[in-house]
Amino acid sequence: MRGLRSLASLTILGLVNAQDNIVFGPAFSLGPTKSWIREATTTLVLPEAPSPQEDRLALWPGMGTSGGDLIQALAVSFSDPAS
């Protein structure tokens, strides 16, 4: 898992270096608690992308684990997939 996380981190750093304008929107965290989740199911229902689309739009929800890992999903929409 650590190797995969390192590879993902390097990939993200490479993408960040290739971009000139990346902004992360608001974040919400409940912080660490003594509670735990045994099992979770998520359904992500996406609306239509804005039209005309001018740039990238991403939704990146995540949940931290007690082991320091991050469970995450990613939904991205591009005006030009080649960019």
Query: How far is 79 from 83, CA to CA, in rounded Å?
Result: 8
Q: Cβ neighbours of residue 26 under 8 Å, at least 6 residues apart? A: none
For residue 53, pLDDT over 50 is answered with: yes
pLDDT band at 46 (very low <50, low <70, confident <90, very high): confident
Query: How far is 48 from 52, CA to CA, in rounded Å?
Result: 11
pLDDT band at 11 (very low <50, low <70, confident <90, very high): low
pTM of the model: 0.39
User: In 3-state terms, what secondary structure has residue 51?
Assistant: coil
